[in-house]
């Protein structure tokens, strides 16, 4: 018997983020406004989380419209011919359907119908997972350029009176184009999960796991029965404790894996979950006091899988960080899961998410 020779791809080992784009909802929602229905205060929210405002969708804004806008801006800012994009990865937790997933719809909306397009659900770590998979896809030669989009509309999967979640989450989308580059600009991903603590961030209403529950739901009308509206639940302090133990190890491991020293890090872009967690991580890792750290949470809230590209875009658009600088990224959240990498920041965007906000 002769064994058939099966062809293998070869790609480009050195890869980087070549362009970034984002989209922010036009509606800015203050702590004061949130507290009209939530039993909390502006002071408590700012002190405990670092949030002053968040953005929530309104009118005809949606996850679909924001993801497509962010993706188109990332492509325009990268200067890459759109037709060369060979795959799209959509990192999201709040996309309105599991069937169909959102990736193909976004590919269609931006004029790339037909390319492989799929969703990654890895909680707030989702963008880091997507970025790592995109980098490895280019390295393997499975696509020359890959678009990674993070999008969330957390406002619609939130209970406005829940003190654990209502003040923290926001909406938005961010995207990057990953492709070959002269110098490597994306380290190997350091990623992991902890399913033992899975229920620390969850949802009130599941797709029924057992047939008897499926039958029970058949008689309920989702439009009128609250069981039909899925909202996120979170045991905040439990996640905080997990973050305090797991993330310092993950961060040092990202530096080791990337082969860089702590002093090489010029910009720190952690997931925008809580400004206090970010300050603690910065101190524990021994990052220099004066290096810029993302603080997009202050006026954007926690946008889950969209937070890292949104935060990078904010820093680049405002000049707090510069294209070409070495940055440490770390996403973490539901799963529980995390993913981090050392990257070279993409060039500052020419078209920014602030252009249309006024």
Contact residues for ligand UT7, defined by CB under 6 A: 40, 44, 48-49, 124, 163, 167-168, 236-237, 239-240, 243, 273-274, 277, 302, 304, 333
- Judging by DSSP bridges, how do beta strands 201-203 and 232-234 pair with one another? antiparallel
**How near is the Cβ of 30 to ligand UT7 at its closest, in Å?**
15
Cis, peptide link before residue 242, omega less than 30° from 0: no
| Shorter beta-carbon distance to ligand UT7: residue 237 or 259 | 237
Nearer to ligand UT7, 273 or 310 (CB): 273
Q: Would you name the residues annotated as active-site residues? A: 124, 271, 302
Task: Give the Cα separation of 95 and 62 in Å (integer).
Answer: 10
Residue 255 CB, shortest distance to ligand UT7, in Å, is 21
The closest residue (CB) to ligand UT7 is 236
Question: For residues 273, 173, 22 and 291, what is the CA-based torsion angle, rounded to 10 degrees?
Answer: 10
Least spacing, CB of residue 235 vs ligand UT7, in Å: 8
Nearer to ligand UT7, 95 or 145 (CB): 95
Q: Find the shortest distance in angstroms from Cβ 134 to ligand UT7.
A: 22
Which residue lies nearer to ligand UT7 by CB, 228 or 237? 237
Cβ at position 161, least distance to ligand UT7 in Å: 10
Determine contact, residues 268/287, Cβ cutoff 8 Å.
Answer: yes
C-alpha–C-alpha distance, residues 291 and 284, integer Å: 14
Are the C-beta atoms of residues 115 and 149 closer than 8 Å to each other? Answer: no
Nearer to ligand UT7, 93 or 137 (CB): 93
CA atoms within 13 A on the CB side of 239: 23
CB 175 within 8 A of CB 67: yes
Q: Which of 318, 308, 328 is nearest to 267 (CA)?
A: 328
Which residues, listed in sequence order, are joined to residue 147 by a DSSP beta bridge?
A: 88, 177
């Amino acid at each position: 018997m002769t064994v058939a020779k099966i062809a293998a791809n070869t790609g480009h080992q050195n890869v980087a983020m070549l362009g970034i784009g984002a989209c922010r909802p036009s509606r800015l929602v203050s702590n004061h406004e949130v507290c009209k229905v939530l039993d909390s205060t502006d002071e408590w929210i700012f002190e405990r989380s670092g949030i002053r405002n968040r953005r929530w969708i309104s009118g005809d804004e949606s996850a679909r419209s924001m993801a497509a806008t962010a993706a188109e801006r990332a492509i325009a800012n990268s200067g890459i011919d759109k037709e060369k994009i060979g795959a799209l990865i959509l990192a999201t937790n709040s996309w309105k359907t599991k069937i169909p997933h959102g990736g193909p719809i976004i590919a269609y909306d931006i004029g790339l119908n037909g390319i492989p397009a799929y969703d990654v659900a890895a909680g707030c770590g989702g963008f880091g997972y997507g970025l790592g998979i995109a980098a490895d896809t280019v390295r393997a030669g499975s696509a020359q350029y890959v678009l990674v989009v993070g999008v969330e509309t957390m406002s619609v999967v939130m209970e406005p009176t829940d003190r654990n979640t209502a003040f923290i989450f926001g909406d938005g989308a961010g995207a990057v184009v990953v492709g070959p580059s002269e110098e490597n600009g994306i380290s190997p991903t350091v990623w992991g999960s902890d399913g033992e603590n899975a229920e620390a961030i969850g949802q009130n209403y599941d797709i029924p796991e057992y047939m008897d529950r499926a039958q029970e739901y058949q008689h309920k009308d989702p439009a009128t029965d609250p069981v039909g509206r899925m909202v996120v639940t979170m045991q905040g302090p439990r996640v905080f404790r997990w973050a305090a133990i797991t993330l310092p190890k993950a961060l040092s491991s990202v530096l080791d894996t990337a082969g860089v020293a702590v002093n090489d890090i010029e910009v720190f872009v952690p997931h925008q979950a809580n400004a206090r967690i970010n300050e603690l991580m910065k101190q524990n890792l021994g990052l220099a006091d004066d290096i810029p750290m993302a603080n997009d949470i202050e006026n954007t809230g926690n946008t889950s899988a969209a937070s890292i590209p949104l935060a990078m875009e904010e820093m680049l658009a405002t000049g707090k960080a510069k294209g070409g600088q070495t940055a440490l990224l770390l996403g973490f959240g539901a799963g529980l899961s995390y993913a981090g990498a050392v990257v070279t920041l993409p060039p500052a965007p020419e078209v920014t998410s602030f252009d249309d906000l006024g």
